[in-house]
Amino acid sequence: MTAVTTLAMPRRHALGQNRLARRWRFAVLLTATLVVLPIASVFYLALFPSHNIWRHLVDTVLFYYLDATVRLLLGVGLCATLIGVSTAWLVSACDFPGRRWFEWALLLPFAVPAYVIAFVYTDLLEFAGPLQGALREAFGWRSARDYWFPEIRSMGGAIAMLSLVLYPYVYLLARATFVDQARSMVAASRSLGCTPWQSFYRLSLPMARPAIAVGLALVLMETLNDFGTVDYFAVRTLSIGIYDTWLNQSNLGGAAQIASLMLGFVVVLIGLERFGRRRQQHYSPAGQSGQADRYRLRGGRALLAWTLCALPLVLGFAVPAGRLAFYALRNLGAYWTPDFFQLSLNSLLLSASAALVTVALGVLLAYGKRLFPSRGLNAGVGLAKLGYAMPGTVLAIGVMIPLAAFDNSLDALLRASFGISTGLLLSGTVVALIFAYSVRFLAVAAGAVESSLAKVTPEMDRAARSLGQSSLQTLWRVHLPLIRPGLLTAALVVFVDCMKELPATLILRPFNFDTLATHVFQFASDEKLEASALGALLIVLVGLGPVILLSRSVSRRND
């Protein structure tokens, strides 16, 4: 509320200001409404299911689904935070051999889809895999009954897989704050006699807590939404429950009911994220952070730091990518075909378009909210982010309903008035896919834009506006250039996420249209890792470029 008064312009503009406010509000609410439509559709389905599933679920398996979901969330949340925060602090506050390299390399696992890493590790660690094979060879065991080996397809396995590819969210945000933290403060704390550990624990960590909370919220939402890994590992979370209810019991309404229950989790997670952001009010004075020396680590400590950073990188990236490369190269000729090129191109163009659209929407929402914060707008923007929580399968249905309704109404109207049929204009085309991706990943984009905008002091707005710039001009000439790194981050994260997106793509894609993700999934779900390897490797490789850029953009800003 206070921002309204601080951003209010001189009085003579008051009238125009009102009109402008109305326009902005309209644009933001229109966007939010569009994005909320699929979510509302799902709610509608949940409210009027063909047969009510609650009684049955509560009596039978709901507790198991909840139990598995909560344990998975706790496990992944804990592991991803530990890995993300410790590595982020090491590379930003300490100096040891390989640090500069780790700084960007630690983001690499982000490019690996969770279902892919799950396939790879199962292949490596199961009974027939090379590791157990070597053990049996060495010790003369014959069958699985002769010895114990941790079962990769288990809750523990799922936690490990998801943590290894999701920790980069925490790492990325934590490092950005660790690096951003006015070095002078750290230097001061040290001159006051803090040990590195005290300085981390009493200063850096509390200051980074908001960012960590945001990263953690993203990790948990991805975890909640994961279908591929938990399905493959037979960890029966709520997202499996949705799938079962819909596809095995042909009860879409029941599935929507479970999806609505999942929204409960998400409201908590968004609360966590928002709590994180509220504390994030220090506006970093651009370009004046004095460079404090990093703690120089030597000998055993350097080795320990190196190992701590290398471990997630090796396990989360090198091993899966290496294994995929091994399979892909073994039979490259057979898999590198014109069809394959086509679907790679599909993935690339689709993800790039979706990233652009999503970030544009994110800017619209975040900036509108900055200009004219009101309860209505805030609620609208908050609702618009719920798409991130919708399981992809259910979201796909939610997208289909309004698009097809639009198409069918337009068609009916034109048939009635002009006797021509427009058929399906939007549903069953890439438009439907881009819409779905935007709804799904708007939370990521809007979040990144909001937190970048939050760092631009309101004085900037006032200065620009007092110099006669309109709010749009201010956005274009002041804010966008200032938050360019944040925009880039948002676009790249959304791009990589779209490349990996599977369930909605499977359901919404047009005729004869495949992406790398659907290609990989079709083979991998039939346990043909070899045939899916090249596609999976390509998803990883295409994700690498953005990830490296992303990492560079954070480093460059601060070095």
Partner 1 sequence: MSMRIKAALMALPLAASLAAGSVRAEEVNIYSYRQPFLIEPLLEAFTAETGIQTNVVYGEGLVERMETEARNSPVDVLITPNTTVLMSAYNKGLTQPVNDSILLDNIPAQYRAADNHWFGLTTRARIIYASKERVAPGEITTYEQLADPEWEGRICTRSGKHSYNLSLFASMIAHHGEAYTREWMEGLKHNLARRPQGNDRSQVKAIHDGVCDISLGNSYYFGAMLTNEEEPEQQDWARSVNLIFPNQDDRGAHMFISGIALAKYAPNQANAIALMEFMVSPEAQYLYAQDNFEFPVRPGIERSDLIKQYMGDFKEDPLSLTTITDHIDEASRLVDEVAYDF
Stretch that binds partner 1, among 87-95, 293-301, 418-426, 543-551 (CB under 8 A): 418-426
Selected binder of partner 1 within 260, 289, 422, 457 (CB under 8 A): 422
Detail the DSSP E strand segments found in 291-380.
295-296
Using rule CB under 8 A, residue 123 touches partner 1: no
Rank residues 59 and 288 by Cβ distance to partner 1 and give the closer one: 59
Using rule CB under 8 A, residue 139 touches partner 1: no
Interface pattern 256-295 for partner 1 (x via CB under 8 A): ----------------------------------------
Using rule CB under 8 A, residue 428 touches partner 1: yes
Residue 296 β-bridge partners: 95
Using rule CB under 8 A, residue 57 touches partner 1: yes
Rank residues 393 and 551 by Cβ distance to partner 1 and give the closer one: 393
In whole angstroms, how close is the CB of 538 to partner 1 at the nearest point?
18
Closest by Cα among 113, 119, 152, 110 to 523:
119
Q: Are 82 and 215 in contact (CB under 8 A)?
A: no
Q: What is the DSSP string of 50-115?
A: SS--HHHHHHTTHHHHHHHHHHHHHHHHHHHHHHHHHHHHHHHHEE-TTHHHHHHHTTGGGGS-HH
SS3 429: coil
Stretch that binds partner 1, among 14-22, 171-179, 383-391, 415-423 (CB under 8 A): 415-423
Selected binder of partner 1 within 86, 177, 518, 551 (CB under 8 A): 518
Using rule CB under 8 A, residue 74 touches partner 1: no
Tell me, what DSSP letter sits at residue 559?
-
Q: Which tokens in the block code for residue 273?
A: 């994220």
Using rule CB under 8 A, residue 145 touches partner 1: yes
Stretch that binds partner 1, among 18-26, 51-59, 263-271, 455-463 (CB under 8 A): 51-59
3-state helix, strand, coil in the chain (%, to 5): 80, 0, 20
Q: What is the identity of the amino acid at 428?
A: G
Rank residues 207 and 396 by Cβ distance to partner 1 and give the closer one: 396
Positive or negative torsion for Cα 116, 122, 125, 131: negative
- Name the one residue in this structure whose structure tokens are 């004085």: 459
Calpha distance 253→245 (Å, rounded): 9
Q: By CB under 8 A, what part of segment 524-553 binds partner 1?
A: 525-528, 530-531
Using rule CB under 8 A, residue 39 touches partner 1: no
Rank residues 18 and 60 by Cβ distance to partner 1 and give the closer one: 60
Tell me, what DSSP letter sits at residue 491?
H
In whole angstroms, how close is the CB of 16 to partner 1 at the nearest point?
25
Inter-helix orientation angle 338-371/375-384, to 10°:
170
Phi-psi category of residue 293: left, alpha or beta, with phi > 0 → left and psi -120 to 50 → alpha: beta
Using rule CB under 8 A, residue 329 touches partner 1: no
Q: Is 408 exposed, middle or buried (0-12, 13-18, 19+ CB in 10 A)?
A: middle
Rank residues 178 and 367 by Cβ distance to partner 1 and give the closer one: 367
Using rule CB under 8 A, residue 144 touches partner 1: yes
Residue 295 β-bridge partners: 94
In whole angstroms, how close is the CB of 424 to partner 1 at the nearest point?
5
Selected binder of partner 1 within 421, 458, 472, 484 (CB under 8 A): 421
Q: Are 195 and 263 in contact (CB under 8 A)?
A: no
The size of the interface with partner 1 (CB under 8 A), counted in residues, is 71
Selected binder of partner 1 within 302, 373, 510, 557 (CB under 8 A): 510
- Within the chain, how many helices (H) and strands (E) appear? 28, 2
Selected binder of partner 1 within 379, 425, 463, 467 (CB under 8 A): 425
Q: How far is CA 478 from CA 457, 461, 474, in A?
A: 11, 8, 5
In whole angstroms, how close is the CB of 66 to partner 1 at the nearest point?
12
Interface pattern 207-246 for partner 1 (x via CB under 8 A): --------------------------xx-x-------x-x
Stretch that binds partner 1, among 69-77, 354-362, 382-390, 487-495 (CB under 8 A): 354-362
C-alpha dihedral (141, 144, 149, 154), degrees to nearest 10: 170
In whole angstroms, how close is the CB of 421 to partner 1 at the nearest point?
5
In whole angstroms, how close is the CB of 150 to partner 1 at the nearest point?
13
Selected binder of partner 1 within 71, 153, 294, 552 (CB under 8 A): 153
Selected binder of partner 1 within 2, 191, 248, 417 (CB under 8 A): 248
Selected binder of partner 1 within 381, 401, 536, 550 (CB under 8 A): 401
Calpha distance 141→286 (Å, rounded): 63
SS3 529: helix
Q: What is the identity of the amino acid at 289?
A: S
Using rule CB under 8 A, residue 25 touches partner 1: no
Using rule CB under 8 A, residue 28 touches partner 1: no
Selected binder of partner 1 within 423, 458, 463, 467 (CB under 8 A): 423
Stretch that binds partner 1, among 88-96, 145-153, 200-208, 209-217 (CB under 8 A): 145-153
Using rule CB under 8 A, residue 404 touches partner 1: yes
Interface pattern 177-196 for partner 1 (x via CB under 8 A): --------------------
Calpha distance 286→303 (Å, rounded): 34
